[in-house]
Amino acid sequence: MASKDSISRTVMVALALCVVCSVVVSTAAVVLKDKQVANAANEKKVNILTAAGIDIVDGDLQAAFAKVTPKLVDMATGQFTDAVDVKAYDDVKAAKDPALSNALTATQDIASIRRQAKYRTVYLVEGENGLEKVVLPVHGYGLWSTLYGFIALEGDLNTVAGLGFYAHAETPGLGGEVDNPRWKAVWNGKQVFGADASQPLIGLIKGKALPTAKHDIDGLAGATLTSNGVTNLVRFWMGKDGFAPFLANLKAGEA
């Protein structure tokens, strides 16, 4: 019998350990897959609610989410559509599917997303006096990653009610400061558009924005590239190739 310290025994123990570890890791990955998908979906809902300023009371996410109505928008017309079931629709998957998306030209593609889904899910928050807020999905490239998030607008469809990203891989402390609640709070009350409702003016500037500046947002320190990415993605989605036609229809009561 090989001695405890022999090479063959050491190799066998190392191999056995590798097999056991890989079985544990792959089993955990398979078993936890559904939970991960559910957690990701919940994270997205929390982000939508946070952008809309809706509190989750007693940890009841579903009750809070019942206050928002998801609806599909046909991006070609800027009108609501029932062409596909909104509950089953996956915006992120659709944007990658050539049958469900359109390629953007280089001039259109300021957010560096290459393709745009034909339909997008938007979330309406309605009260006794009609539309209170609309939450719109936004995404675009920063420095290292595509940032996915939501921007909420007040009922005037111009004033920002909130902004947040639920997925990105920018560097913590630099581009990752997009998640800093203090920075996100700067967006609230800023105006997306000036006199022309098809031309978004909102964007990040280098340094700190004056509180009186209607469209300027503080730049992220040491993260100009992520900052530029955020400006580009917000301007794309608020612009004529994004939601501007839908917002105009909604304002006119013709969506």
Of 155 and 219, the one with the shorter C-beta distance to ligand FMN is 219
- 204 by Cβ neighbours in 10 Å (0-12 / 13-18 / 19+) ranks as buried
Asked if 154 interacts with ligand FMN (CB under 6 A), we say no
Which residue has its beta carbon closest to ligand FMN? 175
x-or-dash pattern for ligand FMN, window 162-181, by CB under 6 A?
--------xx--xx------
With H, G, I as helix, E, B as strand and everything else as coil, classify residue 103.
strand
Of 94 and 186, the one with the shorter C-beta distance to ligand FMN is 186
| Footprint (CB under 6 A) of ligand FMN, residues 221-240 | 222-226
x-or-dash pattern for ligand FMN, window 101-140, by CB under 6 A?
----------------------------------------
Q: Do residues 148 and 92 lie in contact, with contact meaning Cβ atoms separated by under 8 Å?
A: yes
Q: Do residues 139 and 109 lie in contact, with contact meaning Cβ atoms separated by under 8 Å?
A: no
Which candidate, 82, 71, 90, 41, places its Cα nearest to that of 136? 71
Of 100 and 225, the one with the shorter C-beta distance to ligand FMN is 225
C-alpha dihedral over 245, 247, 250, 255, to 10 degrees?
40
The residues that touch ligand FMN, with contacts defined as CB under 6 A, are 143-144, 170-171, 174-175, 222-226
